[in-house]
Amino acid sequence: MSFEDLPETWPDLPLTDPLLAADVVDLFVAHADRVEGCAAFLLLDDDLRLAQPCLLGEVPEGADPWDLRDHLVTVFGGAGLGGVVFARGRDGSVLITDADRRWHEVLLDVCRRLDVRLTAAFVATPAAVRSYPGPLAAADHLAS
């Protein structure tokens, strides 16, 4: 799937379908942004439709996402959001790294703090847009 698969009505649809959300991320996170590193936030209205894309570009690989937490709290808290879709753009493998997990942890922390729904989260590389794994609570019965 890619942004070329988006239906014409996608701006009117809520970004609750993971495939649709991935295609919208593919549309807004350009190849150059993925290679240079970025953090993308699709800010959603109360109906979980795209209200405003926001991209922080040229984020170095070693950047500490916790340094951004307070800024995100300020931006998200003042935006009256219904939800957010997050994408970490980076070069390299589509496998989820420890650095990717730290970005996800920051977004989870900010969204919990503000009671904003994190509708979806992705890693966007030049090769693909990949969803973060679901929360472990969803598979508690499989844990030993």
Cβ–Cβ < 8 Å for 87, 129: yes
* Mean pLDDT split into 10-residue runs, the chain, 144 residues: 81 95 96 97 96 95 94 89 96 95 95 94 97 69 53
In a domain, 31, yes or no: yes
Q: How far apart are CA 38 and CA 29, in angstroms?
A: 8
In a domain, 46, yes or no: yes
In a domain, 8, yes or no: no
In a domain, 144, yes or no: no
CATH of the domain at 51: 3.40.140.10
Q: Domain containing 29: what range?
A: 13-133
Cβ–Cβ < 8 Å for 26, 2: yes
In a domain, 90, yes or no: yes
Give this prediction's pTM: 0.90
Residue 16, token pair as written in the block: 């609750």
If one counts the domains in the chain, the total is 1
In a domain, 109, yes or no: yes
**In 58-128, where do the E strands start and end?**
83-89, 117-124
Best CA proximity match to 50, nearest among 30, 78, 27:
27
